[in-house]
Structure 1
């Protein structure tokens, strides 16, 4: 996980969200390597089933901190930023849609792996792992968008009193 010296933003609220991105990216790297195994490697059916079970476990460990992070953004950050840039169109709309898209991919993965993985074919395993891969891709781009568009906007546009209040509300653990 990144130290404060590696964070780009100066406002405490943006630093907090950026640091959470670093932690979530660390967790993502852990399960994404398993997704890549399904794309790159020839594996036996038994290896595939074991890898998918491990992928499911890693995604399960990821989902709670991710949900806690997105709830912070949706309950606190987006409403405050929206008072400055609007809610009806623009970057906030796209970012919130991406939250739903990510939830969809991960939800689809969990839906298709909730039953007996040991009954799945190797092709089934590879198909289901693609949902996790899609979630990873959207998440990666999503974090970049937030850090290159939303966070700089917030630092530039938000009044100090709003920045301070936002930090107080968001200064909670995601784990």
Structure 2
């Protein structure tokens, strides 16, 4: 692969960046439904069908998101935290965002099983829209703040160990 495809030169961070790309692809599939619901682009029948599809796509999205998050929290954050701290700063806000994203998705999935009016579908789909917005900014923060920081502070042996730990599938 060409180096220009990735924003980060670190192989371990390229794994996470690649996962961000995959997750963003999946997000685009369900976010388009959210936007169409919010902007009244569906008939009532279409909205009902697409709402069911939105629920299915979000349910399927949860597993790779959770795998990605687990890898970051088990390997990446603890290692970087040795250098920048765990109790305050960017790692705290990033980990809080992980919780917030899951809360929005879970809230949507919990309440969205059934038949609903157009307004109810629009209202519930806001949770998915919030998850999308937080995730989009979240990926940018990680790639523009944490990944470069990692390249600056980790020793070569730590970079190689992190690569080995992160080199697993999220599917």
State the partner residue of 2:140.
144
Cα RMSD between the aligned structures? 1.4
SS at match of 1:43: coil
Q: How many Å separate the matches in 2 of 1:64 and 1:91? A: 25
Greater CA drift, 6-15 or 143-152: 6-15
State the partner residue of 2:66.
67
TM superposition shift of 1:112: 0.6
TM-score after normalising by structure 1: 0.93
Q: How many Å separate the matches in 1 of 2:15 and 2:31? A: 24
State the partner residue of 1:31.
30
1:107 aligns with 2:106: yes
Structure 1 residues without counterparts, runs of 5 or longer:
none
State the partner residue of 1:77.
76
Q: How many Å separate the matches in 1 of 2:11 and 2:147? A: 11
Structure 2 residues without counterparts, runs of 5 or longer:
none
State the partner residue of 2:124.
128
**After the TM superposition, which parts of structure 1 deviate over 4 Å for at least 4 consecutive aligned residues?**
2-5
Q: How many Å separate the matches in 1 of 2:2 and 2:50? A: 31
**Deviations 1:60-98 (Å, cap 9, x if unpaired)?**
221111110000000110000000100010000000000
1:157 aligns with 2:153: yes
Q: How many Å separate the matches in 2 of 1:152 and 1:82? A: 14
Greater CA drift, 19-28 or 43-52: 43-52
Q: How many Å separate the matches in 2 of 1:141 and 1:3? A: 25
